[in-house]
Structure 1
Amino acid sequence: MKYKKPPISIEDQINLLVSRGMDISDRDRASRYLSHISYFRLRGYWIPFETPGDGKDHHFKDGTDFDSVLELYLFDRKFRLLILEAIERVEVSFRAHFANELGILYGSHFYLDTKYISNHNIHKKLMDSLKTEIERSDEVFIEHYLKTYDDPFFPPVWAAAEIMSLGQLSKWFRNIKSRTDRNRVARSFGIDQSILESFMHHLTVVRNVTAHHGRLWNRRLPVTMKLPENPSELASMLNPKTGRYIGNTVIMLGYFLKQISPGTTWPLRMRQLIDDSPGIRPAAMGFHENWKDLSW
């Protein structure tokens, strides 16, 4: 079927929402937000307010107002920023442990040696990607290395890891041949290497959503992650029935941050954000019903 819907003005967008049952008491305010956020982006936040099974008419439930939709949008914005803050801390720590644990054990350029690598084809692709990153990097430490040394072309692992994307770094970690070596990195976080590998891949997807300012709070994520059985305290906080939603991600990030910085206030701030948002249903995010009782 060919797409035939014409673009409509902000005023007509407001009229359409009102005709479908949304209460908009301040049209000027709604116009301002729609002009800066866009109808299409904001639409993802009013879908929960639509009448179930309404088909293509998209009528709203009784009592739906623009302010409630906007509150949900603003909550998600704050939520994404908190998630991005946590991912940054975890990513930086993961880089450091990957480089330090394995670099000290096997040397500054161990990652060039295929005897430490599981899949040589994947290794070649990762090396090609890293070469591209090195050639276009404007990091001072990369420029210094290239000006000072010519053998090998690639910098030591502690420098190389800093210019790898989280997605690339997670692939490097997954491609380390020795499970024992992978566990050397994972034990820094008190978990098994398989859990760390899965979680880093999962975080790559979540980070991409947050970096592009996508709706996150109730998004059905394209990848799940392997849930840990140990430590038992962490395992008890996770919900195995909602693997494609963000609730387990929040719990895992809180756990990682406590390993990195025991005095972190992040779990408290996350809980406070959700508590202060009465329109948010934690169950829609994938949390346990008793999420407030969980030991963050």
Structure 2
Amino acid sequence: MADEVKAFRSYEEQVDLLAGRGIDVGDRKRAADVLRRVNYYRLSGYWYPFRQQIGGGRVDDFYPGTRLDDVVALYEFDARLRAATFSVLAPVELAIRSLLGHELGRVDPCAHLDPDLLGSPARQGDAYRRWRDGYKLELNRSREDFVAHHRAKYGGVLPVWAAVEVLDWGGLARLYGFAPRDVQESISARCGLRGPQLASWLKSLNLTRNVCAHHGRLFNRVHTLTPKLPKVGVHPDLDGATTAWNRTFAQLTLIQFLLNRLGLGRSNLLPAVVRSYPTIAAVPLSHLGAAEDWQTASQLWAS
């Protein structure tokens, strides 16, 4: 089996390999220390833009002038960006939990357990059944005191305003999608959106949150889901924020918008991190999806 995989290389040999391919590694001991802290293959995602492009693909050799320090600066920026994004998503998630639990509770304390009390998507196909199975699994795993209380006093049946607290973001987004349309509209109106728009934002931001939670590369990601947007003119601060809604800066803009409309504060954290983007000619800020005038193009980013 060992003959079928790449040969093992020490940290010092990895430094030699990079230097041989054209990276200015600087101080070799410090470069080896970097590779002790950050796996070679994790860093490879950050030096990919520096690899020479010939024909339709990238080769192993780097463009002249490529420095390991620039690669590390991108990696460290991305780590700050992930941490900040995960942090500011938390109050958004908590607000949606509270709103969804409250509005579904108006319908029935156990609306989440009865598809006949939910919207039509809960009665089509087996998506609701899969959601219900996932909910039961999370409920059985939970060690929260409020869950133990309901097990002891109510046979483990949680009202929806408590049930939302055991759901992860994905489960929460799916329950919102199952909610009756008037419930969706009541919640989305608090966010300045229509029901289907907020549903798409929750799905999109769930993927972004997962990237952050699993230490994925965020800054130059091209996102697979494009959020549904209000018509131009409804929210001028959203209209001018970005033109590339499948890039990371667009995902950050969605968060800035929700923080603003839900009155959650902390709207200065993401702008501060974006301003810390390293100055690297080969990988400009446009790789994030932000324009040069990002700080003035929208009030969402003014801080």
CA contact (8 A) 2:107 2:117 kept: no
CA contact (8 A) 1:80 1:210 kept: yes
Please give the secondary structure, in 2, of the residue aligned with 1:51: strand
CA drift of 1:238 comes to 4.0
Unaligned runs of 5+ in 1: none
Amino acid of the residue matched to residue 197 of structure 2? I
RMSD of equivalent CA atoms:
2.0
Please give the secondary structure, in 2, of the residue aligned with 1:52: strand
CA drift of 1:191 comes to 0.9
Please give the secondary structure, in 1, of the residue aligned with 2:22: coil
Spell out structure 1 runs of 4+ moving beyond 4 A.
none
CA drift of 1:19 comes to 0.8
Cα distance in 2, alignment partners of residues 265 and 159 from structure 1: 26
Amino acid of the residue matched to residue 288 of structure 2? M
CA contact (8 A) 1:237 1:251 kept: no
Cα distance in 2, alignment partners of residues 3 and 95 from structure 1: 49
CA contact (8 A) 1:97 1:188 kept: no
Partner of 1:125: 130
* Percent identical: 29
Please give the secondary structure, in 2, of the residue aligned with 1:44: helix
Partner of 1:160: 163
TM-score by length of 1: 0.90
Partner of 2:62: 60
CA drift of 1:4 comes to 4.2
Partner of 1:135: 140
Partner of 1:95: 97
Distance 1:234 1:101, change over 3 A: farther
CA contact (8 A) 1:221 1:245 kept: yes
CA contact (8 A) 1:202 1:225 kept: yes
Alignment match of 2:257 (pick from 255, 258, 269): 255
Amino acid of the residue matched to residue 299 of structure 2? S
Please give the secondary structure, in 1, of the residue aligned with 2:97: helix
Distance 1:225 1:3, change over 3 A: farther
Partner of 2:204: 202
Partner of 2:38: 37
Partner of 1:270: 270
Cα distance in 2, alignment partners of residues 47 and 180 from structure 1: 47
Which deviates the most, 215-224 or 70-79? 215-224
Cα distance in 2, alignment partners of residues 52 and 44 from structure 1: 15
Partner of 1:233: 236
CA contact (8 A) 1:191 1:231 kept: no
Alignment match of 1:174 (pick from 174, 177, 199): 177
Amino acid of the residue matched to residue 9 of structure 1? S
TM-score by length of 2: 0.89
Partner of 2:74: 72
Unaligned runs of 5+ in 2: none
Distance 1:158 1:77, change over 3 A: same
Cα distance in 2, alignment partners of residues 132 and 290 from structure 1: 47
CA drift of 1:56 comes to 5.9
Partner of 1:221: 223
CA drift of 1:9 comes to 1.5
CA contact (8 A) 1:23 1:65 kept: yes
Partner of 1:187: 189
